């Protein structure tokens, strides 16, 4: 007999998203569905998934074990949000209103607003203020189903304020049940004081900031905005090489507004992920699909910026890309922190099937963070990160819009949201 300290009984449907991971092509359509399933964990690790009879034969509850009756609920893995800009201060609601009057995101950026507005606010904020913002946002994300969240710096754009953001993240990760995966994004933009001296800022990043963030072990990934007017493909390549030498794994904001070839570069340098890709070319699709680089699409950006153009998700899947969906939560292009909504947008805007969207916010999201050995699917030996939803069946997660059906959230074997409330 194996012992369990958490037992979820009789899920009406259990979407496991079990591997092999990453899922590509037709495999993205398989969500590993189980009906009337029992799932149990011990010390945060899944030890059993199966039917009641097998459960009774092989599992025993330890004294004080938590039991949840899920007979009216649908279970699925906690969402993995592989792309967020979590630790920022200030608001861009005024710029949002300018956009509603016809200004575009790039026009605002050219006028010194956009990312620079948030850089000013974030530089002014204290580490404690950023920490409390992160904690509040992580709570909201968790209420909406995220149990693992990547989070980038990139609104400091100098040594002191990048480190402040990353330290706030580190403290948030220690205090909050959600797993936080930290990314250093000092190459998110060119700071205003270096606007006419981009080369000098690149040198500062390479000689000082990258080595210092690495020395302090504040981030696992390095990310960069490869975009017209920001970092060119050649500049990106240099910075990525420096970051790799300093021990970072790589992610790239690629081909978002213009098709510079960031996708091809991501594949070439073996980045863990290439993100955005609204403007990716056929060549870019081919390169990524033949590579191990995850493809991270962010449908809430097209939605939030009201762009006609969307990332070519169907063509990417047909070509064999390891596709996942993330929120890009940030104040300018996606004030969206709900992975449930992102999954729904994956279907409504990018034309994924419901099953593809489910795999894209769970198993393949975990792959994009190279955490797929421990999270993103419900399998024996992985973390007990489970959502229990008040819907009649899993397609209703996409069919029903505009309210939150996530009733309970279990993170690492612990109930962290019960009856829709943070415990």
User: Which residues of this protein are in contact with ligand NIG, per CB under 6 A?
Assistant: 85, 114-115, 118, 225, 253, 256, 301, 328, 330-333
Q: Which uninterrupted H or E stretch holds 214?
A: helix 210-215
CB atoms near residue 173 (< 10 Å): 18
Q: How far is the CB of 32 from ligand NIG (least distance, A)?
A: 31
155, 152, 170, 95: which is closest to 125 by C-alpha? 155
Which residue number, 95 or 328, has a Cβ lying nearer to Fe ion?
328
Q: Is 328 in the site for Fe ion (CB under 5 A)?
A: yes
Q: How far is the CB of 85 from ligand NIG (least distance, A)?
A: 6
Sequence-ordered list of residues with C-beta below 8 angstroms from that of 45, at least 6 positions apart, any chain: 381, 382, 383, 384, 413
Q: How far is the CB of 253 from ligand NIG (least distance, A)?
A: 5
Residues 242/243/246/248 CA torsion (nearest 10 deg): -160
Which residue number, 226 or 354, has a Cβ lying nearer to ligand NIG?
226
* H helix intervals, 6-78: 52-58
How would you classify residue 355: left for phi > 0, otherwise alpha for psi between -120 and 50, otherwise beta?
A: alpha
Which residue number, 17 or 254, has a Cβ lying nearer to ligand NIG?
254
Q: How far is the CB of 73 from ligand NIG (least distance, A)?
A: 34
Which residue number, 258 or 353, has a Cβ lying nearer to Fe ion?
258
Which residue number, 116 or 291, has a Cβ lying nearer to ligand NIG?
116
Under 8 Å between Cβ of 43 and 103:
no
Q: With CB under 5 A as the contact rule, which of the stretches 64-72, 141-149, 189-197, 324-332 interacts with Fe ion? A: 324-332
Q: How far is the CB of 256 from ligand NIG (least distance, A)?
A: 5
333 binds, among Fe ion, ligand NIG, none (CB under 5 to 8 A by kind): ligand NIG
Q: How far is the CB of 294 from ligand NIG (least distance, A)?
A: 16
**What span, in angstroms and rounded, lies between the C-alpha atoms of 143 and 302?**
24
Transcribe 315-337 into DSSP letters.
Answer: HHHHHT-EEEE---BBTTTB---
Q: How far is the CB of 23 from ligand NIG (least distance, A)?
A: 24
249 binds, among ligand NIG, Fe ion, none (CB under 5 to 8 A by kind): none
Phi, psi values for residue 36, rounded to 5°: 45, 55
Minimal CB distance residue for ligand NIG: 332
Q: With CB under 5 A as the contact rule, which of the stretches 44-52, 184-192, 289-297, 327-335 interacts with Fe ion? A: 327-335
Transcribe 37-52 into DSSP letters.
Answer: EEEEEETTEEEEEE-H
Under 8 Å between Cβ of 183 and 220:
yes
Which residue number, 120 or 418, has a Cβ lying nearer to ligand NIG?
120
Contact residues toward Fe ion (CB under 5 A) are: 328
């Amino acid at each position: 007999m194996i012992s369990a300290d958490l037992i979820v009984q009789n899920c009406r449907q259990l979407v496991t998203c079990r591997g092999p991971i990453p899922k590509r092509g037709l495999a993205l359509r398989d969500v590993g569905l189980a009906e009337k399933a029992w799932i149990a964990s011990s010390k945060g690790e899944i030890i059993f998934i199966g039917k009641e009879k097998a459960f009774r034969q092989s599992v025993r509850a330890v004294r004080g074990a938590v039991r949840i009756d899920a007979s009216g609920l649908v279970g699925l893995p906690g969402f993995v949000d592989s792309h967020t800009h979590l630790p920022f201060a200030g608001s861009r609601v005024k710029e949002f209103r300018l956009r509603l009057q016809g200004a575009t995101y790039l026009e605002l950026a050219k006028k010194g607003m956009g990312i620079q507005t948030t850089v000013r606010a974030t530089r002014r904020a204290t580490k404690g203020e950023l920490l409390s913002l992160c904690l509040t946002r992580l709570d909201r994300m968790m209420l909406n189903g995220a149990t693992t969240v990547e989070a980038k710096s990139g609104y400091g754009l100098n040594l002191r304020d990048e480190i402040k953001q990353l330290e706030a993240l580190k403290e948030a990760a220690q205090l909050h049940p959600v797993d936080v995966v930290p990314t250093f994004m000092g190459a998110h933009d060119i700071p205003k004081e270096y606007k006419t001296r981009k080369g000098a800022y690149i040198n500062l990043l390479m000689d000082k900031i990258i080595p210092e963030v690495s020395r302090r072990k504040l981030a696992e990934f390095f990310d960069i905005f490869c975009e017209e007017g920001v970092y060119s493909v050649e500049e990106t390549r240099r910075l990525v090489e420096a970051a790799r030498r300093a021990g970072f794994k790589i992610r790239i904001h690629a081909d978002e507004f213009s098709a510079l070839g960031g996708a091809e570069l991501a594949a070439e340098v073996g980045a863990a992920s290439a993100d955005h890709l609204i403007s990716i070319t056929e060549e870019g699709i081919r390169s990524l699909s033949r590579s191990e680089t995850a493809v991270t699409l962010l449908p809430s950006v097209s939605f939030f910026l009201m762009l006609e153009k969307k990332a070519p998700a169907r063509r990417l899947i047909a070509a064999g890309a390891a596709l996942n969906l993330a929120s890009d939560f940030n104040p300018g292009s996606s004030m969206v922190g709900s992975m449930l909504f992102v999954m729904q947008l994956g279907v409504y805007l990018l034309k994924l099937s419901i099953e593809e969207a489910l795999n894209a916010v769970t198993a393949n999201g975990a792959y994009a963070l190279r955490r797929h050995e421990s999270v993103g699917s419900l399998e024996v030996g992985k973390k007990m990160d489970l959502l229990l939803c008040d819907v009649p069946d899993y397609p209703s997660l996409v069919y029903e819009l505009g309210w939150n059906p996530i009733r309970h959230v279990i993170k690492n074997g612990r109930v962290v949201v019960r009856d829709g409330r943070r415990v």
